Each structure stands twice: as C-alpha cells, then as structure tokens.
Amino acid sequence: MTAHSSTSSFSSAAARAGLSRLPFEHDVALWRTDGNVILLPSNRAVGFCVNQKVLLEQSPRWSEVLKPRAGGQRYEDNVPVYELDDAEEDLRVLLKYLHQSYVLPP
C-alpha cells in the first residue's frame, strides 16, 4: 500500500493474524474513534469513519445513501462500509465541513 500524507496503513499485526481487511487506508483526520459508518470514495483507496448522526442531521439525502445494501452489507470492525461515487477530495472536503461545524452532545 502506498503512503498518503493524510492516511495511515492497517496494522501488519492484523494481517499476520489472518484478519480479513478491506484494502483501503484510514484517513487520519477523518477516522473518528466515535465513528459508526465508513464511507469510501470512488477510488476506494481511503476510508472515512465518521458519525452517522452528524450526516443525517445535516441532510436528508444521507438517509438514502446510508440504507443497508441489498445482497449484504460490508463491514470493517463491525462498522458498516458504504462505497460512494464521489471523488476522494470532494468527499474529504464535505466531511471536514460537516464535522467541524457540528458538536455532538455528551
């Protein structure tokens, strides 16, 4: 996997343990520990783990995007993964904007 300035690679320990991982890197700035949904841009190279509530409260369109997939939902560490058609940088800019302007209640 090639390094990307805003991403981190999966642990080689997980690979040695034989865990099945999806082939994408975590975006460092948008891989939230409180995230409960993973979004993959069109290139599938980088994943963004963000809070679904933030997305749903910002736009009703997200409720359509985040519906469970027919034929099976993909998961990464028990978090649903959604493959989108948006470009990586476009998605990054949108998610940064949505998450910086929203404060989750305690």
Count Cβ atoms below 10 Å from residue 38 Cβ, excluding itself: 22
Helix (H, G, I), strand (E, B) or coil at 78: coil
Q: Which domains does the chain have, with CATH numbers?
A: 22-100 (3.30.710.10)
Q: How much is the pLDDT for 48?
A: 96
Cβ contacts of 40 within 8 Å, gap of 6 or more: 24, 46, 47, 48, 81, 82, 83, 84
Q: How much is the pLDDT for 91?
A: 94
This prediction has a pTM of 0.73
Please list the pLDDT of the chain residue by residue as tens digits (106 residues). Answer: 223 334 333 333 333 333 345 679 999 989 998 899 999 999 999 999 999 999 998 888 999 989 877 777 888 889 999 999 999 999 999 999 888 765 555 5
Q: How much is the pLDDT for 3?
A: 30
Task: Tell me how many degrees the CA angle 95-96-99 measures, rounded to the nearest 5.
Answer: 80
